[in-house]
Chain A
Amino acid sequence: MRIPCPFCGPRGNEEFTYLGDASVQRPDPSAPAAAQAFHDYVYLRDNPSGLHQEFWYHGGGCHKWLVVTRNTRTHDINDVTFADGGARP
C-alpha cells in the first residue's frame, strides 16, 4: 500500500505505523462519567467495512501523525491530512 504523506509525497506503508480509529476523541477527564468514557476510549472501537478514518504515524519519514481516510475493503485512500491540522511544521 502507498500512503500519500502531505509532506513527503506517496511512500510505501512500511514507513508508517498504524494506530487505528482517528475519530475517537480523548474524553474530558474532569467530567462526571469520565471512568466509563475513558474505558470506551481506550478499549472500544468500531470495525467498519468501508470508509475508515485512521491514524498513521510517518515514523520512517517526517514524524507527522496523519489522518487517513481509507476504504477498508478496497484500500483506496480518499484523503490524508495532518492530525494537527498542519498548523506547524
Chain B
Amino acid sequence: MSSHRLNSGGLIERDTPLSFTFDGETFAGFAGDTLASALIANGVRLVGRSFKYHRPRGVMTAGSEEPNALVELRSGARREPNTRSTTAELYDGLVAASQNRWPSLRYDIGAVNDKLSRFLVAGFYYKTFMWPAKFWEMLYEPLIRQAAGLGRAAGMEDPDHYEKAYAHCDVLVIGGGPTGLMAALAAGRAGARVILCDEDFRLGGRLLGERHEIDAKPCVEWVAGVEAELAAMPDVRIMRRTAVTSVFDHGQYAAVERVNDHVAVPPEHEPRQRAWKIVAKRAVLAAGALERPIAFGNNDRPGVMLAGAARTYINRYAAMPGQRLAVFTNNDDGWRTAEDARVAGIEIAAVVDSRSQPPAQFLALGVKAMTGAQVSHVHGGLGVEAIDVIDAGGRTTKIACDALAVAGGWNPAVHLTCHLNGKPVWNEALAAFVPGAMPDGMRVAGAAGGSFKLADCLSEGVAAGTMTAIECGFRIAAIALPNTEDEATAIAPLWHVKDSHAKAFVDFQNDVTTKDIALADQEGFRSVEHLKRYTTLGMATDQGKVSNVSGLAILAEVSGRTIPQVGTTTYRPPYVPVSFGAMSGHHRGKDFRPTRLPPSHQWATEQGAVFVESGQWLRAQYYPRGAEKDWLETVNREVTATRGGVGVCDVSTLGKIEIEGADAAAFLDRVYCNTFSTLPVGKARYGLMLREDGFVLDDGTTSRLAMERFVMTTTTAQAGRVMQHLEFCHQVLWPALDVQMVSVSEQWAQFSVAGPRARDVLRRLVDEKFDLSDKACPYLAAKEIAVGGVAARLFRLSFSGEMAYELAVPARYGDAAMRAIMAAGDEFGITPYGTEALGVMRIEKGHVAGNEINGQLTARDLGLGRMMAKKKDYIGRVMAQRPALLDAERPALVGFKPVDPKARLRAGAHFLKVATANTIDNDEGHMTSVAFSPMLGCWIGLGVLARGPQRTGEHVRAYDPVRNGDVEVEVCDPVFFDPQGARLHG
C-alpha cells in the first residue's frame, strides 16, 4: 500500500487499483483518484519547478485553481502540457512528467535563477536585454525563447476528434455542490428543463471533501440521494466533467465537456471533448468559493497546501498530505482541517491561529494551539521540514512538521458574473469580494455569493431554483430544507506576514512575491491594472484564482488605500483553459470550411482532373492527358482544342438569381449601371453592378425569359454578396417595388459549350423541336428549351470569345448532362476544359473578371464607362461622378505583351516608366491578370495603367520585387485575339 494512503475511508474505489507513471517511476492508485491525490498518497511531494525561479513545488489545491502542480500528461501526439494534476482523473497506464526542469526535477539547473532572484524581480525585462542592440536577435531572443514557457506542446497532429453541440434549457445550474443540487432539485420538481453542470467527475462539490452531516447522514450519502432523484427526472440533464467557462449576452453560455479526458484513448466514434453552447432562459451560479493562502517566507515549499485542499485529500481521497501536519489559519475554517486530520489519525504538530481568540469548540480539540501567532518561515528545500512561528510578543518557535495547511479565507467564485462587465463588490465582514451587478437572467446562490454556511447554501439553492422556475412559467413544487448543523465561519483578514524575510509568494505560477508588489507600488505602478501587467500577477494559466485578491489586498496595504479603492481587474472568459481542439470542433483540415462540389465533380474526378479551390468550391482546374509534362502543356491543348473545335466547361458555380414581378425590369435598371428594361424577351445582356460608393461590385449576364421574369448571373465569389445587396435594395430602399427574388445558384447546373463546332454538339443534345439556327438563336439569345425531355435553358453567351452556348439543366441532372454533352461532342473531338483554360481565353479577349473587379476600380477604369446610363438613377451613379474618380491619371485597363517574346509575365507586378527609380511615387499601376496565350505564342497580361489607353505602343517596366521580376512590356489593346469578334457569330 502506498506510504501515505489511509487504510480506510475516502471515496476512492479500493477494488479498482490502477498503475501510473510520473517522471518514469511507477506508482499505484485507485479509480476515483486524481493524479495529484495518487501522488500525495504515494508520498510524492515534489511535482514541478516554478516558472521563473525554478523553485521546487508541490500540490497546493485540489481543484482547477491549481497554480503549481502542472504536468505534461500523456505522451506522443496526445501529450498535453500544463495539465493540472489536481483535475486529471487517474486511469490505468496514465503517463505524466514534470515540466520546466533540466536535467531532472530533483536537480534542476534552472534553480540558479532563484539565487539570481534580485536581478529577476518583477519587470526586470523592461530594464534589461537592451544593450548592445545587436545582441538582441542573436543572443537574447533565442535565450528568452528557450527559457520561456512551462510545458511543451506535442508538435504532432492531434489524433482525437472534438465536437460542438447546442443545448437549450429553462434553468442552467452552474455547479453541482449542495447549493446547485438544491437549485436543480427545486427547479426540476417544478417541471422546468434543467441542465446541471459540474466540472468534477462526481457531483457534490465542496461536500466531497468534508465530514458534514445532512439529515443525520454523511453528506456524501445525501448527495447520492439527490443525484438519484435528479437522474430520474426526464427534463433534467446532469453534465459531469463539464465546466461552464463563459457567459455571453442574452442567456448564452459556453461550456466544455471533458468527454474522454479520463481514458487513455477515446472509444471509437466518441470525441475527446465537446464544446457546448447553452441557451438558457435563467441561470443559477452555484460555483462555490476558492480558498486563498497567506503570504509568508518560503510559503511555496512542497508540502504547503491550502487547508480545504488538505481536508479534501484526507476525506475524499484517503491520502495524507503529511504524517505530522501543522495548520496556519486566520479564520475558523482552518481548524476543521486539524479536526479531520485528527480523526484520520494524522499527528497535528500545531494549529497557528493569527487571531487571539479562536472559538472554544476548536480549542477543545486538544491540539497544540498557538493563538495570536503567525508562521513567518518554512524550513526545507525540496519539502517542508519545519516552520518558524512568531508570537504576539515577537518570540520565534521552530516546529517540526512535514506538511503545512494554510487557511487564508475564502473568495466567492464570482468570475462568471464579470464576463458581461459586472464588477465585484468588497464585503468587509466577509473579507471577500461578492458579486456586484449580475448578468441578465443569472442569480447567485451559496458560497459564490458569500454564504459560507452549509445551511444557508441549501436554503439559497432552493430559493434560486424556485425563483428561476417561476420566472420560466412553472409552479413551485414542494421541497423540504434538509437539516444540518450550524458552523463557525469567523475571519480576521491577514494577507501577509510582515516578519517574513525569505520570499513570500502571492502568485505561485508566475513567481510573484510580496516584494514585487511593493516594488510595483514604489515604481508608480499603483493601479490594480498596472500591478497585474507589471508584475504579471494573475496572468498565468490559473488566471490568479488563488492570488488576485491577496495581491490587490497587499497592494492596498503598502499603498495606504482600502481594498475597494484599489478595486479588481476584469475576469474574462474562459474560466478555465480551453483546448484548441474543443474550440475547433470539426473545423480542421479539409473540413475547416464546407466544400462545395459542382454537379460534374464526380465525372471530372473520373477524368483525372486536377482541382482548385475557388472560395468554398472545388473546381476542375485542368484535365491532364497522356504524357503531358506540366499544366501549361495541358492548358495550351485545352485552349487550342476549344478554339479549334469545341470544348466544354462546368460553370455551375456562378451565382444565379431569379427576379420576377411587375417591377422586375425597373428594379434591374436601378441596380445595374446599364439599362435592362429595354431588353427584349428571349435575350441576355451583360450587366455591370456598382456599389453606392461608385466602384464596381460585380458583373454578370441577365436574361429576360418573360416580360416579368429575369434570371441574373453573378461571379462565383460574389454570389452571396450580390443576393444580400439586391435584397437590401428591395426591402430597405424600394419596398414599394413589386418584385421577388430568389437565389437559384444551387438549383441549376450550367455548362459552357464553346468553339466553332459548339452548335453541332448542341444540335445532337437539345430536343429536336428547338431551332438552334443563327436566325432563331442569335448571339445573346436566352431560351427555355428541353434536353431529353427535361426542361432546360440555353443562353448564347461567350466568355471565351468563341461561338458559345451555356446550357442550364436542373442541378440533379448535372452529372448526366456533362456525360451527354461529352457523348454528343465525341465525334467533334470535344475537349473538357477547366478554370485555367477558361481564364486564358477570357484574358485573350480582354474580358474583366475577379482580378479586375477588385473593389478599387471603377467602370471607367475598366473601360466600361460607356455602359453607365445617363438617364436613370442607379446604385453608385452619384458617387461615381466624384472628381477623383474621373481623374485622367487614374489607372485604366489595357493589355500588355512582353517585349522579349520569351519572357514570362506575372500578375501583381507594378508598372514603372523605363529607367526610373523603383519608388512608390513612380508607381503607375499594376498587372491584374496574366496567361500564356497559345494563340499568340507568348505571355499576355491585362492591367491598369495611368492613362493606359493613350499610351498604346509605349514600353514600360513590369516590376515585381517579390519574385525578382523586371520585365519590359509593350502597352496594347486588351483584346489580343479576334479583335473584331468575328468568331462569336460562328
Contacts from A to B (Cβ < 8 Å): 1-2, 10, 12, 17, 19, 26-27, 29-30, 34-35, 38-39, 41-43, 55, 57, 59, 63-65, 75-77, 82-85, 87-88
Contacts and interface: CB of A to CB of B under 8 A. Distances in A.
B270 interface: no
A82 B731 CA distance: 9
A12 B252 contact: yes
B381 to A, nearest CB: 53
A38 B249 contact: no
Contacts of A35: 878-879, 881-882
Contact of A1 (B248, B728, B731, B881): B248
Contacts of B881: 35
A39 B880 CA distance: 11
Contact of B735 (A27, A29, A43, A85): A85
Contacts of B440: 76
Nearest to B732: A83
Given A29-B873, A57-B727, A83-B732, A42 B249 contact: no
B724 A84 contact: no
- 4 closest A-B pairs by beta carbon, nearest first, are A84-B735, A2-B250, A84-B731, A38-B878
A55 B878 contact: no
Interface in B268-305: 277, 279
B693 interface: yes
A85 B730 CA distance: 12
17 contacts: A1-B248, A2-B251, A2-B252, A2-B279, A17-B724, A35-B881, A38-B692, A39-B879, A39-B882, A41-B692, A42-B693, A42-B879, A55-B728, A57-B724, A84-B730, A84-B731, A84-B735
Given A1-B250, A2-B250, A12-B252, A30 B873 contact: yes
A51 B733 CA distance: 23
A69 to B, nearest CB: 15
Contacts of A59: 720, 724
Contacts of B882: 35, 39
A87 B736 CA distance: 9
Contacts of B279: 2, 12
B249 A2 contact: yes
Interface in B48-102: none
Given A26-B733, A38-B878, A75 B250 contact: yes
Contacts of A2: 249-252, 279
B704 interface: no
B250 A65 contact: no
Nearest to B440: A76
B877 interface: yes
Contacts of B251: 2
Given A2-B250, A42-B692, A55 B720 contact: no
A29 B250 contact: no
Nearest to A77: B250
Given A12-B279, A57-B727, 5 more contacts: A2-B279, A10-B250, A38-B692, A42-B693, A83-B735
Nearest to A27: B878
Contacts of A41: 692
Contacts of A65: 727-728, 731-732
A27 B692 CA distance: 11
B692 A19 contact: no
Nearest to A63: B727
A38 B690 CA distance: 14
Contact of B878 (A34, A82, A83): A34
B731 A83 contact: yes
Interface centre among B279, B693, B735 (most CB of A within 10 A): B735
Nearest to B874: A29
B739 to A, nearest CB: 10
Interface string B14-40: 000000000000000000000000000
A59 B546 CA distance: 45
Interface centre among A55, A84, A85 (most CB of B within 10 A): A84
B441 to A, nearest CB: 11
Nearest to A34: B878
Contacts of A42: 692-693, 879
Interface centre among B249, B279, B693 (most CB of A within 10 A): B249
A13 B911 CA distance: 45
A35 to B, nearest CB: 6
Interface centre among B251, B731, B873, B882 (most CB of A within 10 A): B731
A27 B732 CA distance: 13
Interface string B863-878: 0000000000100011
Contacts of A57: 724, 727-728
Contacts of B693: 42-43
Interface string B681-708: 0000000000011000000000000000
Nearest to A64: B731
Given A29-B878, A41-B692, A75-B249, A19 B731 contact: no
A11 B732 CA distance: 21
A82 B277 CA distance: 28
Nearest to B693: A42
Contact of A19 (B250, B277, B728): B728
B198 to A, nearest CB: 25
Contacts of A38: 692, 878-879
B249 A29 contact: no
Contacts of B735: 83-85, 87-88
Interface in B705-730: 720, 724, 727-728, 730
Contacts of B252: 1-2, 12
Contacts of B249: 1-2, 75
Contacts of B873: 29-30
Nearest to B875: A26
Nearest to A14: B277
Interface string B931-945: 000000000000000
